[in-house]
A and B are shown apart, each in its own frame.
Chain A
């Protein structure tokens, strides 16, 4: 909830900023980007849980282009939240039914390169690093067995297409792959579910639709 409030405040400030200076935004190049986005996220390496969830977030970026060199470069900061639906799991080793609920919030920063393709179509390539906090809960028969938050370091790689509708507005589609970089990290619920590698290979992929506000 706080993340959403934070994003709403940032969006409000950005909107005010743009509305204050409409003329200058039309006449000059833009250096700042606020990009709210939403879409689906897939968790990997956490079998036998179901994989698909929902992600939303926002990206704040600042950058520009070098003279005579077409690509633009942005340094970005991203805040995102992903949540997965409650998932019923059968634990065969104990003939038991469990219920897993997971979500995570991440703060990432990195570099985005924007390559002009055709007309107003752009190719986005990005790489970043940061931190994520995962929230995990495991119930058996509606009784909570374990619940915990965990902080992890992560890196992300992304690729996507972007279409600049107006100077101040663009829409796009991004695919991001998130890798957890902590050595030898284990996940307790994976251990309870007798997953072979205890969640060591955990990762996330997201496919999101973006709206870019340029100013």
Chain B
């Protein structure tokens, strides 16, 4: 093989390597945020100060610890704890490998890693991990290059496992979804009170999610995340639509059962407290993409050197005696 061919093959080999497919897209999220400042209640009913939060969101596969089957959902929003405005960040790292549209149960605890952070300026005021709760995926098109979709729900209680930050935070009726909105999912025609029914409500094409069959109640087009009542915070009473870039028409019904929880252990128990989540290692740890890429290239570099050297020696032996000055 000629040496120049190696220089051509090397970059082409690099280009030919498949790029890690997955999701990189923005989205929206909405949830009822609640706090408990002193202790960690096991039941969501024990939390105070509930209000609805609409948040910006971003979904990424490359940032997930679950390799190509993972999605890291970042949710950032301004929150209010004890009448103090704070910056809040919630990340849900989800392993979707076991997900199927036919299964309505929540993700396994080992498939979920959650981190929550509250700050003011440069001070950290609260940091929490998943204490109890569940995360569901309602719709997913992870490797669609043009319109990746994820639509999910969560009901979680967060606490600091190290006990540095007292109290707990709860997110009820949490929803996250990619932007633009996914097409309306297939309506679920069953009597499962925990499984959401999907109905097109006509608010700029937004899909509404109801725990009860949909009843037409129109759209109150708000347009602002902050309302004048409740101390300036949106109580989630209106759904908002046109002009409200973060609203998605989700219904703020107040039932706090565990959607999708098909566990038979506690058939009468609607709370999420029985779902104990223990920290576990991710199934497919990632990272080291850079190292792998370098390792892939090392044999090729060695081959280049050896072939070039051999070629040069051959040229020298062929042209011995000739002098061409081509500086």
Contacts and interface: CB of A to CB of B under 8 A. Distances in A.
A129 interface: yes
A141 B19 contact: no
B119 A140 contact: yes
Given A6-B298, A60-B304, A188-B24, A148 B60 contact: yes
A182 B19 contact: yes
B58 A107 contact: no
Given A96-B87, A109-B8, A141-B124, A131 B60 contact: no
Q: By DSSP majority rule, is chain B's interface helix, strand, loop, or mixed? A: mixed
B287 interface: yes
Interface string B285-327: 0010111011101100100110011001001100100111111
Interface in A167-193: 167, 182, 184-188, 191-192
A188 B60 contact: yes
Interface stretch (B69-77, B103-111, B206-214, B275-283): B69-77
A57 interface: no
A120 to B, nearest CB: 8
Interface in A140-171: 140-141, 143, 145-153, 164, 167
A109 B26 contact: no
A75 interface: yes
Interface stretch (A23-31, A40-48, A202-210): A23-31
Contact of A145 (B7, B91, B315): B91
B89 A140 contact: yes
Contacts of A145: 74, 89, 91, 115, 117
Interface residues of A, number: 67
A186 B305 CA distance: 37
Contacts of A150: 20, 62
18 contacts: A2-B291, A17-B309, A29-B326, A31-B315, A93-B78, A94-B78, A94-B88, A96-B119, A109-B12, A129-B11, A143-B117, A145-B74, A148-B60, A148-B63, A148-B64, A148-B72, A188-B24, A191-B74
Interface of A: 2-3, 6, 10, 13, 17, 21, 24, 27-32, 60-65, 75-77, 79, 91, 93-97, 105, 107-110, 120, 128-131, 133, 135, 140-141, 143, 145-153, 164, 167, 182, 184-188, 191-192, 194, 198, 215
